[in-house]
Each structure stands twice: as structure tokens, then as C-alpha cells.
Structure 1
Amino acid sequence: MVKILLIDRCIYSRKGMKELISKDNQFSISETDNLLVAREKIIQWQPDMVIADFSGFSDTLHSISQLSAIYSACEKSTRLMVMQSGEHPLIEQYCRKWETAESVSKAMPLKELRELTEYIIASRPPCRFRQQAIAPLLTLREERVLTLWTDATSNEMIARTMGISTKTVYTYKRNIRMKLGADNRFSLFLTPSMAAI
């Protein structure tokens, strides 16, 4: 079974790609609209291919180098296809520096997109072993707290949902901020223009 991870902020694009790719049952598809969660999914799930629209994240990237987390998690064993939904020169320039399997426009006809996806999957290395294990940045529980946190869930609700104390939620949040290099509890959710204010 071929594993594909879709990274896109647009739910309609993710659902459409999922529908297009999964017409036959040879694919297992996962999706996310969060770059931090995407990195963790790549490391833990080890997909054969990642299809990402980085342009959708252009207003939330604190630094263009945040994309390097996705590229380094993919390594050489996971093919990365970048689908751009608009013109973002910095993102395009950054993607050219890395070994992206393919960079295409989201306006590409569906038949061509399906054929390209199949070609990229067929051209992946036959052996899927990691030369060097990459430790996940966040633990599974920290990842769960981050997901609830990004959904604007209160600390009390997170504690209740996970069966932990509110004090433990604060500890998890502190650890997440430290691991992700966030200056304060709001910087993870601010756009770069808002952070500059």
C-alpha cells in the first residue's frame, strides 16, 4: 500500500486530491492543514509521497526556513510534490534549493495531475528504509495538546479531554513552545505581519 500525505490549508483542495488519488485502493492517504503536525506525520508515518501547497501557508510562516522541517523530514526516501496555488517568489525560490520531485500549479488539469502523481510514486526508491532515525520533535501527547490548542480549546477542556490536570496542560504548552522556538504563547499563532507589530 502506497502512503501519501496531503499538506494544504484548503480543505476543498485536500478533499479533491484525496478523491482524485484514491480512485483505486492502492493508496493510504492522510492529510493535515498544519506544518508542525505535517513534520511529525512524515517522521512517524513515513509516507511514500508528500503533496504540499506551501503557498497557502505564506501568511503564517514566521520564516521561510520553516519549510526546511518538511524537506528534512522527507529525506531521500519520501517524494515531495509542491503544488502552488499562487505566485509566491520566496517560497518558489526556497523550493528550488531543495530536491523537490516536482513543482506544479494547482491549475494543472486533473488527468495530468493524476498521471504525474503515479509517475512520481513509481520513481521513488524501491527500498524504504531511513538511513538515520530522526527523533520526533513533539511527543504524541504534545502533538495532541497542540492540535487542541490550535482549535482554541481552553486549558480546562484540554485537561478534561486528555485526562490530565490543568497544570500538566501548562507544562505541555511550555514544552511545545520551547521545542518550536516560540517566544511566547501567542507567537505560534501570529502571522509575520502581526508579530512585527
Structure 2
Amino acid sequence: MLKILLIDRCYFTRSGLEIWLNQAGLFSTPVVVTGLNNLMLAKEHAMQWQPDLVIADLYGFSGDLHHVQQLSSLLTACSEHSKLILLQSGHNAEMESYCQQFPVAARLAKSSSLEQLARMIDTALLARPVYAEPQNAAPLLTRQEEKVLSLWMEGTNNHSIAHRLGINGKTVYTYKRNIRMKLGMCNRFTPFLSLPEGVG
């Protein structure tokens, strides 16, 4: 099974690429695609899930960064087990210079055609090392934890989360604690380091 992680602030790019990557016949093996718009979650996902390929547009996050060195943990996590393709939706000389320190399989303008992206993906996947297939794979978060995290990141309070999911308020607190532990969050504000689309 081929695992692909998409990191992009733009909802339309993420969902469009996800649909395109999942279309029948694009790959000779089954594909699992995960799209994220949060750098902290992307880093944790890259470390835990170890995707075969990461496709990222980091330019959309440049306003969230105090310094480009904040990308180091994400770029390290992506390059340890994965091939990394950087999509360039803008120009940031400092970011481009910093990213050159890490093994990047390809850089491609975001306005490039899907045919060009497909060629880059093929080249990157052919160059990746072959790992033994794990016997069983466990997701990082449970489905219920993912629902709680999504509502949490929207700014929904514990009472509203409990009401929407039909659970007790204390259970929401427990889910949040488990999420923080699994994702290595240092405090309860960590999920808001990168706000969802439309916020701000």
C-alpha cells in the first residue's frame, strides 16, 4: 500500500490532489492519501505514519512562522522515511534557501500541470527505498479523537463538543488529554499554532 501525505493550507488544492491521487489506474498499488493543513499535525503524521511520499506547499504557512527554522522538524520527519516534493506557490528566498539543506526529491511550481506532477511523483517513488510492509498498522488517533480534534481546532468549547458527539463533558476532557499525549502537544493551545482556513 502506497501512503501519500499532502500538506497544504489551501483546501481546494488538498481536496483536488486527493481526488486525483485516488483515481483508478494512477498507481499500480492501492493508495492511501491524507491531507493536512496544520504543520504540527503534519510533522507528527510524518513521524508516526511514515508515508512513502510527502507533497507539500510550505509557502502558505510562511505567515505562521516566526522563523523558517521552525520547519526543520517537519522537513527532517518527512525526509527520514519519505520522498518529499515541494510545490511552490510563491517566492520566499529565505525559505527556499533553508529547504535546500534537506533532501528534496523535486521542486515544482504549483501552477505546473498534473502531467508534470505525475512524472515527478513517478520519479520520486522509483527512487525511494523499499521497506518491509508492516503486519498491522494502527492509526495515530481514533475516529472519535479525530472528531474531537477537528471540533477543538474550530474553537468549539468542551460543552458543545460533548453535545455534538453525544458524550459526557468529562469524556471530552479525557479525549483532549489523550490527543495531547499522542501528538506530543506541550500545552492545550498547541492545535492553534496553524489555524484552519477562514479563521483570522
* TM-score over 0.5 for the pair: yes
Which residue in 1 is equivalent to 2:160? 157
Q: Give the counterpart of 1:81 among 81, 85, 88.
A: 85
User: 1:54, 1:128 → 2: CA distance?
Assistant: 30
User: 1:146, 1:61 → 2: CA distance?
Assistant: 22
Contact 1:142/1:176, CA 8 A, preserved across alignment: no
Residue type of the alignment partner of 2:97: Q
| 1:14 and 2:14 correspond | yes
Q: CA RMSD in A?
A: 3.5
Identity of aligned residues (%): 32
Contact 2:39/2:194, CA 8 A, preserved across alignment: no
User: 2:155, 2:78 → 1: CA distance?
Assistant: 29
User: 1:82, 1:128 → 2: CA distance?
Assistant: 26
Contact 2:6/2:36, CA 8 A, preserved across alignment: yes
User: 2:13, 2:160 → 1: CA distance?
Assistant: 31
Q: Deviations over 1:55-106 (max 9, x none)?
A: 0111122432221222222243211111010112222122111111212211
Q: Give the counterpart of 2:50 among 46, 50, 59.
A: 46
User: 1:128, 1:120 → 2: CA distance?
Assistant: 18
Displacement of 1:36: 1.6
Q: Deviations over 1:158-178 (max 9, x none)?
A: 3443835359639947x949x
- After TM superposition, the structure 1 = structure 2 runs for residues 51-130 of structure 1, keeping only pairs within 5 Å, are 51-127=55-131
| 1:34 and 2:68 correspond | no
Residue type of the alignment partner of 2:103: E
User: 2:95, 2:193 → 1: CA distance?
Assistant: 20
**TM-score, reference length from structure 1:** 0.74
Contact 1:20/1:114, CA 8 A, preserved across alignment: no
Counterpart secondary structure, 2:60: helix
Per the alignment, do residues 75 and 106 of structure 1 end up closer, same or farther by CA in structure 2, a change over 3 Å counting? closer
Per the alignment, do residues 148 and 5 of structure 1 end up closer, same or farther by CA in structure 2, a change over 3 Å counting? same
Q: Deviations over 1:137-183 (max 9, x none)?
A: x976877654322112112123443835359639947x949x5456x
Shifted more, 15-24 versus 53-62: the winner is 15-24
**Gapped runs of 5+ residues in structure 2?**
134-139, 196-200
Residue type of the alignment partner of 1:70: L
Residue type of the alignment partner of 1:4: I
Counterpart secondary structure, 2:80: coil
Contact 1:4/1:49, CA 8 A, preserved across alignment: yes
Counterpart secondary structure, 1:76: helix
Residue type of the alignment partner of 1:92: E
